[in-house]
C-alpha cells in the first residue's frame, strides 16, 4: 500500500473512534483496515470472551476468518485461542508444520489455505479477554514491519472496546510511533510541510538510505535535541 493510501486508512479508523461510536461498526472498520493496510494480512477478526468463558467472533473480514476462528474454539487449540487465553502475542510462520497446534495447523492449511497467523491479546479484568486475529494465505510472509503495523491496529481495536493491551511490546511500538510523530512535527516545521508530506518525506528518506523508518525518526529527534543543548 502506498503512503497516501495508508494515511487515509489510518485517518478513517481514527475518526471512527470518536464518540459517540458504534463499537461493532468501528471494529469492522478496523479489521478491514488492517487487511487493506498490511501487505501480508489477508483475513482478520476479533475474538471476545464472555464471563462464562464462551468465545465469540466479531467483525470478521470474510468467511475464512470466521471458520478458522471457530475451528480453533472447537478444537481448543490454535494461535487465536492461545492469544485470548495465554500469550500476549502469538506469531506462526508456517501453520501447517508448527508443532504447537498439531490438529488445527494442518486442517487450517488444508481447508482454508492459511499459511501463517498473528494474534494479539487485549484484556478487560477480571474476567473478559479478547484477541485480534490475523491470517495470511502464505507461510513465512509476516515481516517485522507487518507485525508492527498490525500492532497499531490491534491497539485501536482495544481502544474501541475500552480495554488495555497486556503486552510490553505494545509499549515499545507506541514509543516507536511517538518518535515518528515527533519527527513528523520537526520536518513539518523545518520544511513547511503538511503532515502527509512530512510523513512521506520520512518514508522516502528511509527507502533511499535503506534505514528503518523508526531509526530515521530517532535520528531527526536526536539531532534536534543535540542542537538545543
Q: pLDDT tens-digit profile of 47-66?
A: 988 777 788 898 899 999 99
Between the CA atoms of 136, 141, 143 and 149, what dihedral angle is there, to the nearest 10 degrees? -20
Query: Where are the domain boundaries for CATH 3.30.450.40 in the chain?
Result: 3-163
CB-CB neighbours of 5 under 10 Å = 11
Q: pLDDT tens-digit profile of 141-157?
A: 999 888 888 888 887 78
Q: Which whole-number Å values give the CA distances from 190 to 3, 124, 178, in the listed order?
A: 21, 42, 18
Mean per-residue pLDDT of the chain: 80
The count of C-alpha atoms lying within 13 angstroms of the C-alpha of 79, restricted to the half-sphere facing its C-beta, is 29
Q: pLDDT tens-digit profile of 62-90?
A: 999 999 999 999 999 999 999 988 888 99
- For the chain, helix, strand, coil in percent to 5 are 55, 15, 30
CATH for the stretch 3-163:
3.30.450.40
**pLDDT of res. 80:** 93
Query: Where are the domain boundaries for CATH 1.10.10.10 in the chain?
Result: 172-228
Q: Which whole-number Å values give the CA distances from 217 to 62, 175, 209, in the listed order?
A: 36, 11, 13
Least confident span in 114-118, 125-129, 166-170: 166-170
CATH for the stretch 172-228:
1.10.10.10
Tell me what the mean pLDDT of segment 175-200 comes to. Answer: 75
**pLDDT of res. 166:** 41
pLDDT-derived band of residue 165, with 50, 70 and 90 as boundaries? very low
Q: Which whole-number Å values give the CA distances from 9 to 34, 175, 223, in the listed order?
A: 9, 21, 31
Work out the angle at residue 9's Cα, subtended by the Cα atoms of residues 219 and 27, and round it to the nearest 5 degrees.
115
| pTM beyond 0.75, yes or no | no
Would you tell me the crossing angle of helices 195-209 and 168-191 to the nearest 10 degrees? 110
Tell me what the mean pLDDT of segment 106-112 comes to. Answer: 97
**pLDDT(135) > 50:** yes
**pLDDT(170) > 50:** no
The count of C-alpha atoms lying within 13 angstroms of the C-alpha of 173, restricted to the half-sphere facing its C-beta, is 20
Amino acid at each position: 500500500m502506498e503512503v497516501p493510501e495508508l494515511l487515509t486508512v489510518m485517518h478513517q479508523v481514527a475518526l471512527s473512534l470518536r464518540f459517540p461510536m458504534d463499537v461493532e461498526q468501528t471494529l469492522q472498520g478496523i479489521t478491514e483496515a488492517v487487511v487493506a493496510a498490511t501487505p501480508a494480512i489477508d483475513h482478520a477478526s476479533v475474538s471476545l470472551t464472555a464471563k462464562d468463558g464462551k468465545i465469540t467472533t466479531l467483525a470478521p473480514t470474510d468467511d475464512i476468518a470466521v471458520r478458522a476462528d471457530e475451528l480453533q474454539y472447537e478444537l481448543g487449540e490454535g494461535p487465536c485461542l492461545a492469544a485470548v487465553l495465554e500469550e500476549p502475542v502469538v506469531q506462526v510462520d508456517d501453520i501447517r508444520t508448527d508443532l504447537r497446534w498439531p490438529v488445527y495447523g494442518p486442517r487450517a492449511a488444508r481447508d482454508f489455505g492459511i499459511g501463517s497467523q498473528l494474534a494479539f491479546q487485549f484484556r478487560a479484568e477480571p474476567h473478559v479477554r479478547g484477541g485480534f486475529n490475523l491470517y495470511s494465505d502464505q507461510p513465512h510472509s509476516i515481516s517485522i514491519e507487518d507485525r508492527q503495523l498490525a500492532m497499531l491496529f490491534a491497539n485501536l481495536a482495544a481502544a474501541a472496546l475500552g480495554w488495555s493491551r497486556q503486552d510490553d511490546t505494545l509499549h515499545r511500538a507506541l514509543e516507536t510511533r511517538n518518535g515518528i510523530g515527533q519527527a513528523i512535527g520537526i520536518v513539518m516545521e523545518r520544511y513547511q510541510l503538511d503532515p502527509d508530506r512530512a510523513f512521506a518525506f520520512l518514508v522516502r528518506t528511509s527507502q533511499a538510505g535503506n534505514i528503518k523508518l523508526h531509526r530515521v525518526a530517532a535520528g531527526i529527534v536526536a539531532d534536534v535535541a543535540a542542537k538545543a543543548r
